[in-house]
Chains A and B, each alone.
Chain A
Amino acid sequence: MAEGGNGVTGWLTRTRGRGRLHWTDWFSYGYLAFGVLLMFGPVVWLLLSSFKTDSELQRFPPRLLPHAQETVTLEGHAKPLPLFEVTAGELAGETVAQVRRIGLSSQVVRLDDPGERIELSLDERTAVEAPALATANYTGLFERFDFLRYLWNSTFITVVATLIMLLVNSMAAFALSKYEFRGRATVLALVIGTLMIPQSVVLVPLFLITRELGLLDTLWGVIIPGAATPTGVFLLRQYMLSIPDEILDAARMDNASEWKIYWRIILPLSAPAIAVLAILAIMWRWNDFLWPLIALSRSENFTLQLALNSFQGEMQTEWSSLLAMTVLTLAPIALVFVFLQKYIATGIASTGGK
């Protein structure tokens, strides 16, 4: 990726006009700023919202930052008491702590006189709040849902499917790039042919085949059908073609077996291409939805994506758990992105996605 090696001077003079900003520069930066808002904004909003309490989530219009009601621990009261500001009546302007709520009224105490309980109507007070992160949404996930199971299912499928795909695809790519044999052109044509057959148009027969193999509603039923991708074969073959054949011949002189040549020489030398394919495969499998939706029916086999989707139907209003779960689902991909950005961009540009 050409990044334009620009030093400090380049940074300062990178404008179209002579020193002054041309209108196209204004347009460019305006557009980019808008882009940052539109692309990052929704994710930031999700993140902020996931730290809000239930009542805060139902608040309209919503506030930007998560807030929580402040509490105070007073003498004679075991639990911390929520703080309120009185808006009307004798105590107007004062801050009080609520001891208990009774219907439309509440018993409160002054902070400096925790012994004396005062009746206060609910409409004569507002909660004292400050920005704070509520982590209950996240902890609730582990207590109330089988979150760890979905996480495990997703991880297992992603890791195993990626490993199988790398092994199988690199073997095929090795054969197609380093051997002259009759039928090679046919095989290459077949591989191209599979490009035309995405899973989404063969769902019914895939269902039957997976069922006949006894893999329906198992994690393997998601792993195996997804393991063969023409993209991987192409990507790796292209890279392996650039490895000189002389290396192989030298190894054969040393009496190395073909399998040894494959995994001791070709695989290590193809590491950059394999890394790119691995990242792509991890992304595809982690985000996979349609086939798992069909292949997995018991909720204990659900992946994170399926669990997310089914919960949004089941608990239409329970956004608190859903938001936290969404954040945790996108977190691994976000981390991969942060650390391996360059590989991803290169990989996707060179394979044309899936």
Chain B
Amino acid sequence: MTDGAPRRSVSLAVLTPLMSVIEWPMRRLQRHLGIRRLAWVFLAPNLLLFGLFAFLPVLLNVAYALTGGGNVLLENRPPVGAGNFVQLMDCESYLDPNSCDEDKFWRSVHNTVLFVTLQVGCMIGFALLTALVLNGPIRARGFFRSVFFFPVLLSPVVVALIWKWILQRNGVLNGVLGGAGFETHVWLLDAGWAFFWSVFISVWAHMGFYTLILLAGLQAIPRDVYEAARLDAASPWRTFRRITLPMLMPTMLVVLVLALIKGVQTFDEVYAFTGGGPGSATLLVIQYVYEVGFGGSPRLFGLAAAASVLVAFVLVVLTALQLWATRKNAHG
């Protein structure tokens, strides 16, 4: 990595007055506390933010989940015990959302499970294929890598609108299909197609990120292993099966868990794309939380928090898996 020396001096010129102002009280504190305890002063702002906006919310989330009513202030909320969870979990069969008391929640859970399975599966498949092609003997690798990567930077709303414009009734996709004699559709008003395109745009937008990680993993495989395989006249397929895939496995594991964690939290692009519709065909679980808690009135904060707790539980399991996979990866 390089760094621009002039840029550094410019940012310093902006920072200098601010930092000098802080200098005096910090010097006093240092004399008072000693160097070691000063570490806590450096940590304080960050810990305050973490505490206020990460740890406290976790506790409050549980408190909300155990209370009912439409009031946002906790002291005005009647305790309902496990009532919200019972409402969410009350189902004759978890496989059939219609049999559930809170059928919308289960529909969103079903959608999310299907969405994550398809999205993560397709995304890792295509990311792997792309990484393999990019790792091959090709020209202009840097250019092609950026081509696959750049949608990662687009905002979810922009991604949704770009594709909505392509897929709209008089859009270019219908134009091309109609021109070639195929059937045209009002894509986003058809439940099946809306779901398909939601998965599609999500893969389109995030694939480049995983390609980048897998490509780094591929480039870390020592060249001489391939050299040995070539001397043994191993076929490309065999080389891939016996060398590339096993050696890429640790990276694949990290990528898989990371993709699952992000997949479960999908909200932005699908919400802006279909709004969860038609009906609730593309309603995902975070959107359920948003709609129950903030979308309409009354605001059912308790139910939203209870659903969040369930999602958080899944995420904690996945994150523990991620840390385990990363550690395993780092230690070979």
Binding site for B on A (CB under 8 A): 1-4, 6, 11, 14-16, 24-25, 27-29, 31-32, 35-36, 38-40, 42-43, 45-46, 49, 58-62, 167-169, 171-172, 174-176, 179-181, 184, 187, 190-198, 200-209, 211, 224-225, 227-228, 230, 233, 257-260, 262-263, 267-268, 271-272, 275-276, 283, 286-287, 289-290, 293-294, 305, 308-309, 312-313, 319, 322-323, 326, 329-330, 333-334, 336-337, 341, 343-346, 348-349, 352-353
- Which of the residues B53, B165, B254, B323 comes within 8 Å of A49, measured between beta carbons? B165
- Which of the residues A45, A184, A259 comes within 8 Å of B165, measured between beta carbons? A45
- Which of the residues B73, B161, B265, B305 comes within 8 Å of A204, measured between beta carbons? B305
Tell me whether A201 and B147 are in contact in the complex, defined as CB-CB below 8 angstroms, given that A42-B166, A58-B170 are known contacts. no
Q: Are B35 and A258 in contact (CB under 8 A)?
A: yes
Q: Given contacts A200-B289, A208-B72, list 12 more A-B pairs with CB under 8 A.
A: A28-B136, A32-B147, A45-B166, A59-B170, A168-B45, A179-B35, A202-B57, A263-B15, A309-B157, A326-B161, A344-B153, A353-B262
Q: Are B23 and A259 in contact (CB under 8 A)?
A: yes
Q: Are B272 and A24 in contact (CB under 8 A)?
A: no
Chain B residue numbers with a CB within 8 Å of A204 are 60-61, 64, 293, 301, 304-305, 308
Q: Are B155 and A203 in contact (CB under 8 A)?
A: no
The 4 A-B pairs of least Cβ separation, nearest first, read A61-B175, A228-B49, A205-B60, A287-B155
Tell me whether A168 and B46 are in contact in the complex, defined as CB-CB below 8 angstroms, given that A272-B1, A275-B3 are known contacts. yes
Across the interface, name the chain A residue whose C-beta is closest to B49: A228
Residues 41-62 of chain B: 1 if any A CB is under 8 Å from the residue's CB, otherwise 0? 0110111011011111111110
Q: Are A289 and B1 in contact (CB under 8 A)?
A: no
Q: Are A172 and B175 in contact (CB under 8 A)?
A: no
What is the count of residue pairs linking A and B with beta-carbon distances less than 8 angstroms? 306
Q: Are A294 and B290 in contact (CB under 8 A)?
A: yes
Residues 25-46 of chain B: 1 if any A CB is under 8 Å from the residue's CB, otherwise 0? 0110010000111111011011
Taking the closest CB of chain A, its distance from the CB of B293, in whole angstroms, is 5
Q: Are A168 and B49 in contact (CB under 8 A)?
A: yes
Binding site for A on B (CB under 8 A): 1-3, 8, 12, 15, 19, 22-23, 26-27, 30, 35-40, 42-43, 45-47, 49-50, 52-61, 63-64, 72-74, 129-130, 133, 136-139, 141-142, 144-158, 161-166, 168, 170-172, 174-176, 178-179, 204, 208-209, 212-213, 216, 219, 236, 254, 258, 262, 265, 267-268, 271-272, 275, 286, 289-290, 293-294, 301, 304-305, 308-309, 311-312, 315-316, 319-320, 323
- Which of the residues A27, A168, A209, A290 comes within 8 Å of B57, measured between beta carbons? A209
Tell me whether A333 and B286 are in contact in the complex, defined as CB-CB below 8 angstroms, given that A58-B170, A172-B47, A203-B304 are known contacts. no
Chain A residue numbers with a CB within 8 Å of B171 are 62
Tell me whether A36 and B155 are in contact in the complex, defined as CB-CB below 8 angstroms, given that A198-B265, A211-B72 are known contacts. no
Q: Are A208 and B60 in contact (CB under 8 A)?
A: yes
Across the interface, name the chain A residue whose C-beta is closest to B16: A263
Across the interface, name the chain B residue whose C-beta is closest to A33: B144
Q: Are B53 and A263 in contact (CB under 8 A)?
A: no
Chain A residue numbers with a CB within 8 Å of B163 are 42
Q: Are B43 and A171 in contact (CB under 8 A)?
A: yes
- Which of the residues B156, B165, B290, B301 comes within 8 Å of A287, measured between beta carbons? B156
- Supply 28 A–B pairs (Cβ within 8 Å), ascending by A: A27-B133, A28-B138, A39-B208, A43-B154, A61-B174, A171-B45, A176-B43, A179-B42, A187-B47, A196-B316, A197-B54, A197-B55, A197-B58, A201-B308, A202-B54, A204-B293, A205-B305, A206-B53, A207-B301, A225-B53, A228-B49, A257-B27, A267-B15, A286-B155, A290-B290, A309-B272, A312-B272, A333-B153
**Interchain CA distance A27-B37 in the complex, whole Å:** 61
**Interchain CA distance A205-B293 in the complex, whole Å:** 11
Q: Are A190 and B50 in contact (CB under 8 A)?
A: yes
**Interchain CA distance A79-B93 in the complex, whole Å:** 71
**Interchain CA distance A276-B57 in the complex, whole Å:** 29
- Which of the residues B30, B141, B157, B212 comes within 8 Å of A349, measured between beta carbons? B212
**Interchain CA distance A230-B55 in the complex, whole Å:** 13
Chain B residue numbers with a CB within 8 Å of A343 are 1
Q: Are A181 and B36 in contact (CB under 8 A)?
A: yes
Tell me whether A203 and B290 are in contact in the complex, defined as CB-CB below 8 angstroms, given that A14-B139, A352-B258 are known contacts. yes
Q: Are A322 and B57 in contact (CB under 8 A)?
A: no
Chain B residue numbers with a CB within 8 Å of A230 are 50
Q: Are A31 and B164 in contact (CB under 8 A)?
A: no
Tell me whether A268 and B153 are in contact in the complex, defined as CB-CB below 8 angstroms, given that A62-B172, A203-B308 are known contacts. no
Across the interface, name the chain A residue whose C-beta is closest to B207: A39
- Which of the residues A4, A271, A313 comes within 8 Å of B3, measured between beta carbons? A271
Q: Are B26 and A257 in contact (CB under 8 A)?
A: yes
